[in-house]
Amino acid sequence: MRVVSRVCTLVILFRPGHSSWPLLLAANRDEMLARPWLPPAAHWADQPDVIGGLDTLAGGTWLAVNGAGVVAGVLNRSGSLGPRDGKRSRGDLPLLALRHNSAAEAAAALSTLDAAAWRSFNCVIADSDTAFFIRGLGAGQVSGVALEPGFSMVTASDPNDVTHPRVARYLPRFQGAAVPEPPDWGVWPTLLADRSGPIEAALCVRDMGGFGTASSMLIALAPGRRVMRFWAAGQAAEDAAAARAASA
């Protein structure tokens, strides 16, 4: 029996010191499609510099960036879809990270948290200088490691886990594609919208009993500037150029 992994996907290309865009990020949010949300904006009055999508059910976000140029995204680990009584929403984690002015400070702060407060999660925090993978297993203390320069693809397990069919199929495709020069994102929107191949390896998940890819986001960061591009799932890849865009 084929199993569809019910988890988001986040890909970063980290190039510290690069003259154009030291950090490029691509992400698909896979979620119960009936769960309400709003597209990226400044949704949080106590953090007015944060731009991200809003989970209107729990008040948090799956992916956001702050005015200091720090980006933070959270993903579920395997077997942990949805809320649970007595656990905090994982959407709080990017907002906690984005209270800090650097990825290093944010990663250090999250690494002091009690992992038992949340269902298991993966979190990626990055800026133009550093990038980190943060993991919470639902017990013990949250842990984190620095990500090396180059590509990192995160789904339901640790970065670049090629035992996951989606990573095995798409990590080489991102690595082999021409590197985008935002606002021209090249083939990355097409990769994010790809529904071809075995369903268990698909990057864009069709509606599977009310679960699927809800939205996509692209973010480029450099000191003092950023480009963000967002679109809801269901748009064909060739229409992605008409997606919502925000630059600063």
* Among the four given CATH numbers 3.40.50.1820, 3.40.190.170, 3.60.60.10, 3.90.1150.10, the one describing domain 9-247: 3.60.60.10
Q: Which DSSP helix (H) or strand (E) runs through 199? A: none
Give the closest residue to 179 by CA, choosing from 25, 74, 6, 17.
25
Query: Domain ranges in the chain?
Result: 9-247
Largest CA distance in the chain: 49
pLDDT of residue 9: 94
Strands 150-154 and 211-222: unpaired
211: alpha, beta or left? (left if phi > 0; alpha if psi -120 to 50): beta
pLDDT in tens, 131-158: 999 999 988 999 999 999 999 999 989 9
What is the DSSP track for 84-121? -TTSB-TTHHHHHHTTSSSHHHHHHHHTTSBGGGBSSE
pLDDT in tens, 171-204: 999 999 999 999 999 999 999 999 888 888 889 8
| Cα(237)–Cα(194) distance, integer angstroms | 8
Query: Could you read off the pLDDT tens digit of each residue along the chain, which spans 248 residues?
Result: 344 455 789 999 999 999 999 999 999 988 766 778 899 999 999 999 999 999 998 899 999 999 999 999 999 886 555 556 668 998 999 999 999 999 999 999 999 999 999 988 999 999 999 999 999 998 899 999 999 999 999 998 999 999 999 999 999 999 999 999 999 999 999 999 998 888 888 898 877 677 678 889 999 999 999 999 998 765 433 344 344 344 44
pLDDT of residue 234: 52
